[in-house]
Structure 1
Amino acid sequence: MTAPVPAAGELVAADTSAADLAEVDNPRTPLLAGFVGSMFMLIGSLGVGWLAPVSELRRLPLFIWMRAEAAGVALSIILLAVGGMLLVRAWLRLGQRIRVWGDQARQATLMAVVAWGLPMMFSVPLFSRDVYAYIGQGRLMVEGFNPYENGISALSNYFQLGADKMWTEAPVPYGQLFLWIEQFVVWSTNVQPEASVMLFRLVAVAGVLLCVIYVPKLAELHGVNPNRALWLTAANPLFLTNFIGSVHNDALMIGLALAGLYYSATHRVVRGIVLVTLSIAVKPITIVFLPFIGLLWAGKNAGWLRKFAFWGLTAGLSLGILALMSLVNGFGFGWINGLSAPGSIYIWYAPVGLIGLVVASLANAFGLDGLVLAGWVFDAGKLLAVGIVAWQIFRGEHDRLIRRLTLAFAAIVVLAPMIQSWYVVWLIPLFAVTGIRNDWQVKALYFVVSFFMIYAISDQLEVFPYLQTADLGLALALARVAAALTGLLFGLYLIFWDPRTRSLFRKSGDPVLERPVI
């Protein structure tokens, strides 16, 4: 394990002994600031967070004012935007105040996770309404439908559930384990939306806890400071908002995958495969972990015959578990057909999505079918991602296996035409445990977190249709612009004018080499 490293932007002077200083310089200030930011987001969510149309909360006077009056909605937007960016600043400042990444840093980070995550436990779902799709899919299960063959439109009054309309005909893309979780939640709450949201949040928190436990363990295996890796991951505002505020099942998916990866790397491979398979049974994207676990199982000096044998053993064990689960629920492997169901085709900030958009625009200008040409670009990006994954599987040092997995997983995300903020959160723990240096690498993370927080703040707001009129002047587009400008101005302040945080984005720190060793 490497020696503890000082935080970026506040390096301890060479002639000052760390023993003469506290490990963490007054963490209460950023902890309190982050708690205030999270509380702002909680209050703002009452006005512009996602509620099911059937929710009883819509009848409460406070909710009526915040959601049906222009002043209430405007206040909610401002609180949400300022709160989200306050959380970013608090995270950055907490990292700056840590002089030595020891036990006190770990304690401060865990306090941040609790203090900043607790208000989100009680917020109206933010930045996504996928949790209402989970409720609809659970209701499909309870009412005896096959969710791999039926969208939620098969249900009576399905529009009252609050799910995005894209789920009305789309089959479920989730694995068997998450189907059972959905079924249990809906059965136990009798489809009551707020109770269902709370139970799904508890599932997400279980995933967060798995990350808190296994991120430091994996970091230690790589000679990376475990407390710094924990701060980069679990206290990260993008991590907390996507996994707790947005109630994404990705929290459980990545938590199980990290646990499985740790056991596989410490010679308890069968347990690791079981855990990663459970992760696949939440969201199948983590199937990419299996070839690398097979290589861990084969060992450092394995020849190709041994590698293929252990790839076969790994695939056979995982497939056997999934097949057994499929026999129990009787739905088979229907999730394979649903993998392309949710989401948009492309988005402008994804590199491949942007290239496809430019190609489509140019093609349309010349009278060609731009959509077809854009599809070719998207397919080329996917093909390139497959090539990078294959390269990382077949080539590279055994001692860098988990880093190779990280790069393969990153290729799948970055080369997709559609990148959601929670896709980025999949990658943060993997990069953190295999080493994010204290130079341009950590600065890139700061920019990524800031960008996606600003985008999330403005991307999905629930503004009542009757407020979207010219008379009231509060159209949904205007609300999103107001949220984006508020977040952007705060972000620019952090980068260029804040005397405390601007150094993190502008000055070069001494790189901390954290080379993977397993």
Structure 2
Amino acid sequence: MTAPGPPPGPWVARAARYAGLAGAVLLTVAGYLGGALPDTPLGATPASIWRTPDGPATLTCWLVGTALLVGAWWSLRGGTPSTRWAYVTAGLWALPLLVAPPMGSRDVYSYACQGWTYAHGVDPYAVGVAAAGCPWVDAVAPIWRDTPAPYGPVFVLLAALAVTLGGGLTGTVVLLRVIAVAGLLLAAICLPGLARAAGVPTRRAAWLALAAPLVGVHLVAGAHNDAVMLGLLLGGLLLVIRRPGLPVALLLAGALLGLAVTVKASAVVVVPFAVLAGMPGRYTVRALLRHGGWLAGGLFAALLVTSTLSGLGFGWVGGLTHSGDSEQWTSPPTAVGFVVDYAGALVGRDPRAVPVVRAVALLLLVGVLVVLWWRAWGALRGSNDARRVARVEGARVEGARVEGARPRVVLHGAALALVATVVLSPVFHPWYATWPLALLALTAVRTTWFVLPVAVAAFLALPDGTNLARFTKAPGAVAMTALLLTLTVIVLLRIAHRRGPTSRS
């Protein structure tokens, strides 16, 4: 693996630290001026927000604060002076956002109402929060008021606990934020062990994964349940990597991964790679079944126990079908569907291509996941040839040891699986980019290709939860489709270039 650059100078690091802190403070001010407060409706357009009494100050603080936070994070993407420095700075940036009102999204109110629904004896997978009679329904974004909960029983139970202990909407939101921060703390605890296993400097991995603007704005201030999923996911991966082949460890790791799935189902794509991480010796089909069986046992036990004890069963699986009700060009399949519809309209047709393209993308996702897993499996099966392992994982190290290569191969495969899930999903929200971010921070040799999209995504939402993609539907869809075509051509040209010398020889 290519080592990151040398640590930045003290003046550069200090400037980045306090520029980011200033950005976090400005974002907090923007949140109080025009954040996603319960009695504040979504803005119709950015222009209408600008015309409100606090609109100019809100948007100015928001944009300048985001720019400062993104710039500071970007400037140290190659690594910070030390691991401790990275943790302290990430925590320092989070402090203002801990006391900020919800911003960037109104999902925390959906969580609160879903928890209220369950706490009052109504199945949140059967009815929407409006039909259930949630007293805080006016704070929920209109598109989600009539849809069942798409989250697993573990998070519904956590939301109901927050409602019970919170006593009201404000207390519930505070406790939901505490739960999200607890998930982030678990992820922060797991990062050093995973970084050492993958052979990556912890100072770089911790900085990329914890100080990212999306983490502070959406996982801390926005209290998104993605933080809980990530904490459980990294905990399960760390356990299975540290104690491969040990049945008890595999069972516990499977249980943690199962809990992650019952918070957010997208975590399931990491499970097949965790099975590979749990194999300590030779990579044979027999070993795969034996060790994979232990991990699968822990996972299914977690699913069955939580679904049974909560009394909710597996109704949450049906709720997943409503996650695509929102149509925005930030999802590549949706953008392509929009462009096809626009082209059809030019010739007097109405193809209604969005559902079709989305379905094709999901089928493509299944294929990509299979290929990624098979690639990792093939790399590990051929790991007796150290050079082959090094080449497959992208390293330029001769004589790489098998045990040192195993975690990186597995973690990088899991990271790419999450990237594919985000890219090919029917809907994309900015905080979805945090799913693969932590694993890419642990494994990627080059950082720009994933740090840049995360930086761009930080500018997509306004403090009241308005998504700028709503107002740029046509140009955004065309731009996203053009970007996809460009990237496809680049990838095909690189593949042809790599195969050229091989075929000639």
Q: Secondary structure at the match of 1:71?
A: coil
The separation in 2 between residues aligned to 1:272 and 1:370, in whole angstroms, is 46
Counterpart pick for 1:83 among 55, 65, 74: 65
- Secondary structure of 1:138's aligned partner: helix
- How far off its partner does 1:421 sit? 1.2
Using a 3 Å threshold, how does the CA distance of structure 1 residues 271 and 157 change in structure 2: closer, same or farther? closer
Identify the residue that residue 244 of structure 1 maps to in structure 2: 220
Say if 2:96 is the partner of 1:110: no
Pairwise CA distance, 1:52: 1.4
Question: Retained in 2: the 8 A contact 1:121–1:198?
Answer: no
Match of 1:485 in 2: none
1: CA distance, partners of 2:410 / 2:91: 32
Q: 1:447 to 1:45 in 2, by over 3 A?
A: same
Mapped pair 1:257 → 2:233: yes
Distance change >3 Å, CA 477–CA 449, structure 1 → 2: closer
Structure 1 residues 4 and 349, CA, compared in 2 at 3 Å: closer, same or farther? closer
Aligned to 2:125: 148
**Counterparts of 1:281 and 1:210 in 2: how far apart (Å)?**
17
Q: Residue type of the partner of 1:90? A: A
Letter in 1 for 2:438: P
Partner letter of residue 401 of structure 1? V
Aligned with residue 39 of structure 2, among 50, 53, 66 = 53
Match of 2:369 in 1: 389
**Are the structure 2 counterparts of residues 156 and 347 from structure 1 closer, same or farther at C-alpha, using a change threshold of 3 Å?**
closer
Instruction: Show the 5 A alignment for 1:327-476.
Output: 327-371=308-352, 373-396=353-376, 397-398=379-380, 399=406, 400-437=409-446, 442-457=447-462, 460-461=465-466
Residue type at the aligned position of 1:120: L
**Residue equivalent to 1:323:** 304
Give the unaligned 5+ runs of structure 2. Answer: 42-48, 244-248, 381-405, 473-505
Separation in structure 2 between the aligned mates of residue 248 and residue 49 of structure 1, nearest angstrom: 15
Contact 1:152 1:158 in 2 (8 A): no
1:305 to 1:346, Cα distance in 2 relative to 1, 3 A: farther
Is 2:62–2:463's contact at 8 Å kept on the other side of the alignment?
A: no
Tell me if the contact between 2:27 and 2:62 (Cα under 8 Å) persists in the aligned partners. yes
Spell out, residue by residue over 1:67-122, the C-alpha distance to the aligned partner (whole angstroms, 9 max, x if none).
998332221111111111111122234457x6xx5xx5222212211211111111
Kept in 1, the 8 Å contact 2:13–2:76? The answer is yes
Task: Rate the CA distance shift 1:313–1:51 in 2: closer, same or farther, 3 A.
Answer: same
2 CA distance for matches of 1:252 and 1:271? 17
Q: What is the rounded CA distance, in whole Å, between the counterparts of 2:122 and 2:134 in structure 1? A: 15
Question: For residues 177 and 409 of structure 1, what CA distance do their matches in structure 2 show?
Answer: 21
Q: Distance in 1 between matches of 2:345 and 2:286?
A: 51
Query: Which residue identity does 2:187 align to in structure 1?
Result: C
**C-alpha contact 1:135 1:161 (8 A) present in aligned 2:** no
2:15 is the counterpart of 1:6: no
Corresponding residue for residue 120 of structure 1: 97
> 2:203 corresponds to which letter in structure 1?
N
Letter in structure 2 aligned against 1:212:
A
Residues 208/24 of structure 1: CA separation in 2 closer, same or farther (3 Å cut): farther
Q: SS at the partner of 1:340?
A: helix
CA pair 36-387 structure 1, distance change in 2 beyond 3 A: same
Q: What letter is aligned with 1:417?
A: P
Give the match's secondary structure for 2:130. Answer: helix
TM-score (norm: length of structure 1): 0.77
The alpha carbon displacement at 1:311 in A equals: 3.2
1:71 aligns with 2:53: yes
Retained in 2: the 8 A contact 1:206–1:252? Answer: yes
- RMSD across aligned C-alpha pairs, in angstroms? 2.7
Query: Is contact 2:35-2:463 (8 Å) kept?
Result: no
Per the alignment, residue 242 of structure 2 pairs with 266
Contact 1:238 1:425 in 2 (8 A): yes
CA contact (8 A) 1:48 1:461 kept: no
**Residue number in structure 2 paired with 1:188:** 165
Shift of 1:314: 2.6
Residues 315, 161 of structure 1: alpha-carbon distance in 2 compared, 3 angstrom cutoff:
farther
Per the normalisation by structure 2, the TM-score is 0.79
Counterpart Cα distance in 2 of 1:459 and 1:449: 20
- What whole-Å deviation, never above 9, does each CA across 1:218-238 have from its counterpart, x for those lacking one? 111111111111111111112
CA contact (8 A) 1:176 1:325 kept: yes
Secondary structure of the residue that 1:146 maps to in structure 2?
Answer: coil
Task: Give the 3-state SS of the residue equivalent to 2:238 in structure 1.
Answer: helix
Distance 1:82 1:344, change over 3 A: farther
Give 1:436 deviation, angstroms.
3.4
Paired residue for 1:307? 288
Paired with 1:365 and 1:70, the residues of 2 have a C-alpha distance of: 38
Name segments (4+ residues, structure 1) moved above 6 Å. Answer: 1-4
Alpha-carbon separation, structure 2, partners of 1:161 and 1:116? 31
- Confirm whether residue 280 of structure 1 aligns to residue 293 of structure 2: no
Structure 2 residue matching 1:298: 3-state secondary structure: coil
1:24-66 Cα deviation digits (max 9, x unpaired): 44633322221111111111111221111399xxxxxxxxxxx
Asked if the contact 1:149/1:171 (under 8 Å) is kept, the reply is: yes
Distance between the aligned counterparts of 2:355 and 2:263, measured in 1?
28
Cα deviation, residue 459, structure 1:
8.4
Between 23-32 and 194-203, the greater mean CA deviation after superposition:
23-32
Q: d(CA) in 1 for partners of 2:454 and 2:420?
A: 18
In the aligned structure 1, how far is the partner of 2:334 from the partner of 2:3?
41
* Aligned-partner residue type, residue 424 of structure 2: L
Q: Retained in 1: the 8 A contact 2:109–2:136? A: no
Partner secondary structure for residue 197 of structure 1: helix
**1:106-157 CA distances to partner (integer Å, 9 max, x unpaired)?**
2221221121111111112111100000110111011110111121012336
- 2:361, 2:424 within 8 Å by CA — same for their partners in 1? yes
- Structure 1 unaligned spans of 5+: 11-22, 56-66, 463-475, 482-518
